[in-house]
């Protein structure tokens, strides 16, 4: 008996009993049965094979709606499963364990003059977490992360290990990417790399009504355009600051190759705090952003890729959190969606600290694709209280915004608070039935669970 226990401990590594886990918002405490922090593949395989109850998977825990946990689950905390397994500068390719952060990927590849093809805005997330939400960033001519991954290795509910790619076990590849840990544990990923390059920043303000034309002429087909986003000013939702990063040979104004880990974010935080205040939107548009964004800046692509969420902190505190929401609409529906967004937010007296506009190319086939066509994405960032009344109010206007996105043939993003009704989820993700059928086939006892799938999977 004693030998069996010692063997189990050796195999499974650090195992903590009954623990409350939460995410960055602090809004979703969940009591799980155990937390396992694996460092070796066999520990994951053995835990999945042997554990009789539910299993939930946690990466960086930057999702904001309980997507990493459910009651009484064994939570796999992937953050120490984080090694680089293979790297080839010639093939421009890296194979990593899924708990590695993008920051660690950047530190490994930067000395070789290489950069991830696609990642999201901040480098703190894990590769497995980013793949499981099919994340996106500001890269022009790119889109969901599925476009920037060659293959995956997955541990399925029966403990088997499968390699999946666009040509091999493609259903698993297109199901697990964007599958929020519902099909299995992503344990490894092979990512293509591109040259790191110097980028010069440009920024200009224009009416929202001219932004799409600007995007068509200056951004979409510009071979030097590497990153781009718009800032939609929320005083009256009618003007956009277009911020572009173009390949350049100009001398660097920022010498550091990556953002230093001890960077101070005081100015950025002050700017966001200002935008959050009553008349702050106008001040930000006319004073703060011109000062922050108009000056000449030439930096490495990896420098911009290595931003840290600390620039937003504190994201949450006692009784509040800054939270995100994101909506996707076909290109031609941008202005119509923004008109409706303003109406709904004004009607509910909601003040939004920041709205970022991004563009993504259509998804090549994930079952839970959020970009079914070339898409504009609107990312909302606002402060919310945790009191039940405030959460109920947010749930109510969020459902109105989801209806608005659906009415515009669009969708909404799933890593945030889970307010959508099941009907809204099914309307925004029309291939969910295929995802559920696949899950039923490969995970017949519904082993892989979390709050997202508890809400929508029957």
Ligand X SMILES: Cc1cc2nc3c(=O)[nH]c(=O)nc-3n(C[C@H](O)[C@H](O)[C@H](O)COP(=O)(O)OP(=O)(O)OC[C@H]3O[C@@H](n4cnc5c(N)ncnc54)[C@H](O)[C@@H]3O)c2cc1C
Check residue 226 for interaction with ligand X (CB under 6 A).
no
Check residue 234 for interaction with ligand X (CB under 6 A).
no
Query: For residue 110, what is the DSSP state?
Result: G
User: Would you say 188 or 285 has its CB closer to ligand X?
Assistant: 188
Check residue 185 for interaction with ligand X (CB under 6 A).
yes
Q: Which of 126, 190, 316, 408 binds ligand X (CB under 6 A)?
A: 126
Stretch that binds ligand X, among 1-9, 130-138, 156-164, 428-436 (CB under 6 A): 130-138
Dist CA 383 CA 320 (whole Å): 7
Pair of tokens at residue 5: 């226990």
Dist CA 415 CA 428 (whole Å): 14
What mask of x and - would describe binding to ligand X in positions 70 to 109, judged by CB under 6 A?
Answer: --------x-------------------x-----------
Q: Phi then psi for 245, rounded to 5 degrees?
A: -125, 110
Check residue 24 for interaction with ligand X (CB under 6 A).
yes
Number of residues that bind ligand X (CB under 6 A): 34
Q: Which residues contact 281 (CB under 8 A, 6 or more apart)?
A: 233, 234, 235, 275
CB of 316 to ligand X, least distance (A): 10
Check residue 328 for interaction with ligand X (CB under 6 A).
no
CB of 195 to ligand X, least distance (A): 22
User: Would you say 176 or 288 has its CB closer to ligand X?
Assistant: 176
User: Would you say 253 or 314 has its CB closer to ligand X?
Assistant: 314
Dist CA 99 CA 60 (whole Å): 8
Is 442 strand, coil or helix?
Answer: helix
Is 173 strand, coil or helix?
Answer: helix
What mask of x and - would describe binding to ligand X in positions 297 to 326, judged by CB under 6 A?
Answer: ------------x--x-----------x--
Within 306-421, residue ranges assigned H as helices are: 334-347, 388-407
- Interacting positions 242-261 with ligand X (CB under 6 A): none
Is 66 strand, coil or helix?
Answer: coil
* Listed residue (163, 165, 119) closest to 144, CA to CA: 119
Is 263 strand, coil or helix?
Answer: coil
Check residue 125 for interaction with ligand X (CB under 6 A).
yes
Q: Tokens 């600007």 correspond to what residue? A: 214
Check residue 152 for interaction with ligand X (CB under 6 A).
no
Dist CA 424 CA 430 (whole Å): 10
Give the binding site for ligand X (CB under 6 A). 24, 57-63, 67-68, 78, 98, 120-122, 125-126, 128-130, 132-133, 135-137, 180-181, 185-186, 309, 312, 324, 415, 450
């Amino acid at each position: 008996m004693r030998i069996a226990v010692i063997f189990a401990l050796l195999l499974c590594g650090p195992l903590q009993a009954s623990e409350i886990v939460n995410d960055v918002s602090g809004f979703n405490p969940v009591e799980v049965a155990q937390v396992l922090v694996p460092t070796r593949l066999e520990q994951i395989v053995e835990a999945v094979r042997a554990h009789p109850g539910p299993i939930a998977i946690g990466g960086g825990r930057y999702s904001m709606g309980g997507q990493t946990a459910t009651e009484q689950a064994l939570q796999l905390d992937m953050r120490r499963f984080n090694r680089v397994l293979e790297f080839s500068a010639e093939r421009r390719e890296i194979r990593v364990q899924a708990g590695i952060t993008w920051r660690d990927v950047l530190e490994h590849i930067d000395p070789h003059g290489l950069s991830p093809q696609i990642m999201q805005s901040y480098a703190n997330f894990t590769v497995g977490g980013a793949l499981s939400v099919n994340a996106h960033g500001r890269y022009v001519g790119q889109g969901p992360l599925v476009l920037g991954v060659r293959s995956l290795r997955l541990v399925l509910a029966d403990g088997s290990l499968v390699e999946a790619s666009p040509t091999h076990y493609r259903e698993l590849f297109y199901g697990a990417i964007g599958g929020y840990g519902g099909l299995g544990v992503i344990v490894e990923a092979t990512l293509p790399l591109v040259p790191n390059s110097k980028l010069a920043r440009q920024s200009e303000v224009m009416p929202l009504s001219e932004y799409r034309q600007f995007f068509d002429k200056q951004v979409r087909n510009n071979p030097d355009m590497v990153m781009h986003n718009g800032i939609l000013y929320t005083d009256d939702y009618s003007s956009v600051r277009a911020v572009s990063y173009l390949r350049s040979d100009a001398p660097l104004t920022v010498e550091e190759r990556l953002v230093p880990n001890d960077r101070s974010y005081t100015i950025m935080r002050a700017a966001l705090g200002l935008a959050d205040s009553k008349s702050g939107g106008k001040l930000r548009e006319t004073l703060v952003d011109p000062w922050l964004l108009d000056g000449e800046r030439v930096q490495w692509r990896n420098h911009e890729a290595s931003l840290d969420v600390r620039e937003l902190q504190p994201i949450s505190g006692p009784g509040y959190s800054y939270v995100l929401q994101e909506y996707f609409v076909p290109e031609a529906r941008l202005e119509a969606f923004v008109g409706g967004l303003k109406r709904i937010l004004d009607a509910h007296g909601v003040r939004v600290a920041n709205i970022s506009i991004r563009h993504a190319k259509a998804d090549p086939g994930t079952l839970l694709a959020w970009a079914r066509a070339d898409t504009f994405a609107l990312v909302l960032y606002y402060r919310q209280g945790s009191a039940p009344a405030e959460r109920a109010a947010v749930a109510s206007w969020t459902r109105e915004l989801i209806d608005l996105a659906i009415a515009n043939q669009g969708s909404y993003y799933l890593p945030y608070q889970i307010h959508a009704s099941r009907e809204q989820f099914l309307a925004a993700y029309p291939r969910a039935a295929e995802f559920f059928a696949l899950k039923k086939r490969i995970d017949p006892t519904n082993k892989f669970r979390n709050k997202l799938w508890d809400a929508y999977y029957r």
